[in-house]
Structure 1
Amino acid sequence: MANHPIRAVIWGENRHEQVEPSVAERYPDGMHGAIAKGAGEWLGDKAVITTHTLDEPEHGLTSDVLDETDVLVWWGHAAHGDVSDEVVDRVHRHVLAGMGLVVLHSGHWSKIFTKLMGTTCTLRWRSEHDRELVWTVNPQHPIARGIPNPIVIPEQEMYGEYFDVPTPDELVFISGFTGGEVFRSGMTYRRGFGRIFYFSPGDQDFPVYHHPDVNHVIANGIEWARPDRERETPTLLRYDKDDFFNGQGYRGAFER
């Protein structure tokens, strides 16, 4: 809620950094650390940022942690299958209840994003030192505030269409690459009471999370995804006639 700093959690699987020396050199504090530092420089005292990683108990995403999280930022790539279904279900419930979610780059194939989208979330890709131009197509959107048009990323992995996701609620950015491909690189969704922002720039093989404009977009995404109401899980309510306020609630499908 707006009466306290945004409580943001940057989650990273932290696997590439452990097994690939080039990634560890590029991101000595892990990609999650670079994202936290970069977003924090833009958010300042408007946010309190913490980090958690895959190999922590419950991946660091315990019920207590999520209860105190306004916005969860997700980066995963090599170990999507290692994420516990129980934790995914927990995060899913919190998003539906109002927690914000920012999904980055290869998080498009994370269990939580595919569960929320209900599609394969597949795309085309190439990792050959492409230049990416990130074009703002919705300059009125809060996530585009203060962002140059275009963002120029000198080296990046190519993500291209077709991207098998539902039609977004709002399309904020479209990217173009040196091979001629285009990609819907920044878009928003709402699921339940939660706001979701997907932003594709970022990769372990390139220093994209040291790019100030990329970090600015992530910071804006965190601000936008912040809940503006008390967290509440939508429920099925049965009402008696002429009773408009005191429905009987059910948490799921009826059981016989």
Structure 2
Amino acid sequence: MAIRVVVWGENIHEQTNAVVRSIYPIGMHRTIADALNADPGIEATTATLQEPEHGLPADRLEETDVLLWWGHKDHAAVSDDVVERIANRVWEGMGLVVLHSGHFSKIFKRLMGTTCGLKWREAGERERVWVVNPRHPIAAGLPEQFVIEYEEMYGEPFSVPEPLETVFVSWFAGGEVFRSGLTWRRGAGNIFYFRAGHETYPTYHDTTVHQVLRNGVRWAFNPQPRYTAVHDAPNVPVESALEPIVERGPRLHKPGDAGYR
């Protein structure tokens, strides 16, 4: 079966900014989905902020293997209930790929537990992306380095937790550097952050970027069954202990009590 992907787009700039609309007339989310669907092993559909439940009701997330997230102008408009729903699915094993300004999204900050701040400059700079982990699956088929001719600068420090792996490091014409491809694992879910993708530049029309996105989806996909036990916190009765024990002290909870959360 193909990897089932939902590409989530904020879909505001395409509606309100003529420059963005001229570059992405069908929307960034659909442009990204089309690039993913060039891989016969991926089946990508889209969802946007404006749809009921932002296009991500529980039953749709249940059927999603990997979620891609692009947001910028109105992170605050995303429902906290939807954010928690996504976080639960990531803990259970759904992959998450966060793109560009999605570093400030509610879901990314929720899963990172940090401010996710960085330096930035919007000047159409050349970005040279260095593949610093060439054996990583996300780097499959990529050259030693590749250039994105026009991009927004992101610079260190990037206030995220220490990553599981660093796949890309970027250099910008103004001199800054940035860890532009990072991975983490939360519960059973794989998370990949990829820096590139400012809306006023044609980054998501770049064929090398397309390869990164397809590789990222394949890496983030967890083929194992959904891990629902990640939410459990069972109260193990004394009589069920693996080794015989004698209860020796007072307790707060009754046998079988679910406890507090």
Q: TM-score, normalised by structure 2?
A: 0.91
Q: Does residue 29 of the first structure (1) align with residue 26 of the second (2)?
A: yes
Aligned to 1:136: 131
Q: Does residue 6 of the first structure (1) align with residue 3 of the second (2)?
A: yes
TM-superposition CA deviations, 1:157-192 (whole Å, max 9, x none): 000001000000000000000011000000100000
SS in 2 for 1:237: coil
8 Å CA contact 1:12–1:54 kept in 2: the answer is yes
Aligned to 2:249: none
How many Å apart are 1:238 and its aligned residue? 3.5
Aligned to 1:231: 226
8 Å CA contact 2:36–2:42 kept in 1: the answer is no
Q: Does residue 70 of the first structure (1) align with residue 65 of the second (2)?
A: yes
Q: Within 5 Å, give how 1:176-255 maps onto structure 2.
A: 176-233=171-228, 234=230, 235-239=232-236, 240-242=240-242, 254=260
SS in 2 for 1:254: coil
Amino acid corresponding to residue 48 of structure 1 in structure 2: E
SS in 2 for 1:222: helix
TM-superposition CA deviations, 1:114-156 (whole Å, max 9, x none): 0000000000000101000110010110000001221110000
How many Å apart are 1:38 and its aligned residue? 1.6
Write the distance in 2 (CA, Å) between the matches of 1:111 and 1:249: 33
**What are the ranges of 5 or more consecutive residues in structure 1 without an aligned counterpart?**
none
8 Å CA contact 1:134–1:174 kept in 2: the answer is yes
TM-superposition CA deviations, 1:32-90 (whole Å, max 9, x none): 0111112222x2x2011100100000000000110000000000000100000000010
SS in 2 for 1:17: helix
SS in 1 for 2:107: helix
How many Å apart are 1:108 and its aligned residue? 0.2
8 Å CA contact 1:148–1:213 kept in 2: the answer is no
Q: Does residue 18 of the first structure (1) align with residue 24 of the second (2)?
A: no
The partner residue of 1:39 within 36, 39, 48 is: 36
| Number of corresponding residues | 244
Write the distance in 1 (CA, Å) between the matches of 2:174 and 2:49: 34
8 Å CA contact 2:10–2:70 kept in 1: the answer is yes
How many Å apart are 1:249 and its aligned residue? 10
Aligned to 1:152: 147
Bigger radius of gyration: 2
Change (3 A) 1:153 1:254: same
The partner residue of 1:116 within 91, 96, 111 is: 111
Q: TM-score, normalised by structure 1?
A: 0.92
Aligned-CA RMSD value: 1.4
Amino acid corresponding to residue 187 of structure 1 in structure 2: L
SS in 1 for 2:234: strand
SS in 1 for 2:30: helix
Q: Does residue 125 of the first structure (1) align with residue 120 of the second (2)?
A: yes
Write the distance in 1 (CA, Å) between the matches of 2:137 and 2:207: 17
Change (3 A) 1:39 1:64: same
**What are the ranges of 5 or more consecutive residues in structure 2 without an aligned counterpart?**
244-255
Write the distance in 1 (CA, Å) between the matches of 2:257 and 2:197: 42
Q: Does residue 107 of the first structure (1) align with residue 107 of the second (2)?
A: no
8 Å CA contact 1:52–1:61 kept in 2: the answer is yes
Write the distance in 2 (CA, Å) between the matches of 1:10 and 1:193: 20
Structure having greater relative contact order (Cα 8 Å, sep ≥ 6): 1
Percent identity reads 53
8 Å CA contact 1:136–1:172 kept in 2: the answer is yes
